[in-house]
Amino acid sequence: MEVRTRFAPSPTGFMHIGNLRTALYAYLFAKANGGKFIVRIEDTDQGRYVEGAVDVIFNTLKQAGIDYDEGPGKEASPDSYVQSERKAIYKKYAEELIRRGGAYYCFCKGRDMTDGGTVKYDKRCYRLSKEEVEARLARGESYVVRQNIPETDGVSSYTDLVYGEISVAYKDMEDAVLLKSDGMPTYNFANVVDDHLMGITHVIRGNEYLSSTPKYNLIYDAFGWERPQYIHLPPIMKDKERKLSKRYGDANFDDFVKKGYLPEAIVNYIALLGWSPKNNEEMLSMDELIRLFSVDGVCISPAIFDEAKLRWLNGNYIKKMTVPEFIKAAKPFLDASKVGGKYNYELLAPLLIPRVEILSEIPSLVDFLEEYGPFDLSLFDHQKMKTNAALAKTAIEKALPAIEQMQIWDMTELHDLLVREAEAAGMKKGQMLWSFRIAITGRASTPGGATEMAELLGKDETVRRLKFALDLLENA
């Protein structure tokens, strides 16, 4: 039997982290078992449809490196993978389910249509005679199709591959609407019909569906269809009490990408939210995730989303980047900073790679290059190296003439020059280099050392800043 899994999102907004994890696990399970991964758009609730949301779904999957075998744009059959385009299919199977006794026409309106809550629908339309049903249909009366839950004391049971045996009593189930009056199916019906017709062997979804799956199984049974196997996933929590949610911020994949997290790091981290590889490795490529993924590693306990852990993981991904890879990923953040287009990114990249955890930190690390101006002279003070403004004035006065005479702006030569001038002035190398760095940056913390900052600035700008700093010191 070929393993076939599916991801069936509703186009109601951005890609929530929980949805992306469902897609990822379904993809990993299919690929780990040599199977197929299908994408289906469940857009039957037109009232919640968000324009552009379908594009977000597919762009997110592409960024995450999750490729699908069948779905919109990759049709392997004449049928659509978009539910709103499959109304005729659902009507056909709803009528078949009625003939089989698994559903019935319901003509009730308003408060008589009550579903859920503490008041269950009383099955009054189930008790209508065949003749009355046919007459009301002939008159063109509006109707819905309801599932017919058995009126016995039995239970519907199944075995989930993560949670084990799950049973729900018939008396606790509702005769839910399967087909709405506009001909659109509800999730209760469409997901069963589509999963069967698309040959889905393993349904992977959140554990909020654990208790409703038994009523879906009754539909499978009424049709005489084979049930799929189920893999329900634990929730992703913001903390011990709250689920990760949009209202708490940063619940969407796109939120994290915009903050400067790498898609591959996000996917790696999401894979570990509810699943553990047997080798306990934490940095895993997509190929490694596919090779290692198994249901045995899926946990029952809720997973806590720890952004600090994601930052750490993202920083490790950045540290492994080559300079060209980093520039490609960081360019939007570099371009948006104050240094955008003004400095050599190939010089900046090696300084930033070991210091950045998320790419959105870049502007705060480099903007000082364009923010130079009067600064607090107490920055020259360094207790350990015993530097101060007076010593800095001496250091700059000593080094500046020699720097101005440099013919080639070579950082090795500049470093050696500063060391020589420090010795000539009777000061330590560290005192000279600290004074020089503060003078040309006006910052105590920079992404690189003294000569690295000078290389970025170039000779003319370095000399200009040294003179500016010297003027500040002389007029203090």
Q: Kindly list the catalytic residues.
A: 246
**Exposure of 233 by Cβ count < 10 A (0-12 exposed, 13-18 middle, 19+ buried)?**
buried
Burial class (CB in 10 A: 0-12, 13-18, 19+), 250: middle
**CA 149, CA 142: separation in Å to the nearest integer?**
22
Cβ neighbours of 464 (radius 10 Å) = 14
Torsion of CA 244, 250, 253, 258, to 10 degrees: -170
Q: Which residue has the tokens 């889905």?
A: 200
Hey, what are 420's tokens? 């020589």
The sign of the dihedral angle between the CA atoms of 304, 309, 314, 320 is: negative
Q: Is 276 exposed, middle or buried (0-12, 13-18, 19+ CB in 10 A)?
A: middle
Nearest to 215 by CA among 171, 182, 249: 171
For the chain, the residue count is 476
Q: Show Cβ contacts of residue 129 under 8 Å, excluding neighbours closer than 6 positions.
A: none
